[in-house]
Amino acid sequence: MTHYAYLMVAAPRTSAVRVFGKSMHTLAAGWIISVAWLWIAEVQQHLLRQGVAPPGYALNTLVLGLIPAAMIALIGRMINRWAGPAPDNSMQRREWWHAFLWSVVPTALLLATVWVMIQESR
């Protein structure tokens, strides 16, 4: 039992600020997956159309795509540092679940955008 269970009937609510900071990390992970998918598709299409790998192996797509992901993760880290840690491990776990759920739709929209971009370039 946690320390607050003796004093209260209901467990304290998750912190929206901490959840927002954690959701920035999950959004950055979705962004990285989207950029990687776009890069792989770019290399494959260039190989099919030109018969050779793209110049510089299209690393500019990776670098320019990962810069925003790094910025998002850095902002999430700053928010989490400012908000402080959760009172216990169960609260921490609940906040990560809430963060994941908050970022499902934006991540799905990122992946859908990449899919549409790939379909339109075929």
> Residue with structure tokens 């192996």?
57
Mean pLDDT value across residues 5-29: 84
Higher pLDDT, 97 or 14: 97
- Domain positions in the chain are 15-120
Mean pLDDT value across residues 30-48: 95
Q: Is the pLDDT of residue 26 over 90?
A: yes
Rg of the chain's alpha carbons, rounded to an integer?
A: 20
Residues 6 or more apart whose Cβ sits within 8 Å of residue 66: 32, 35
Long-range contacts of 109-118 (CB under 8 A, 24+ apart): 110/30, 110/31, 110/34, 111/30, 111/33, 111/34, 111/37, 113/34, 114/34, 114/37, 114/38, 114/41, 117/38, 118/37, 118/38, 118/41
Contact 111, 27 (CB under 8 A): no
Q: What is the pLDDT of residue 7?
A: 59
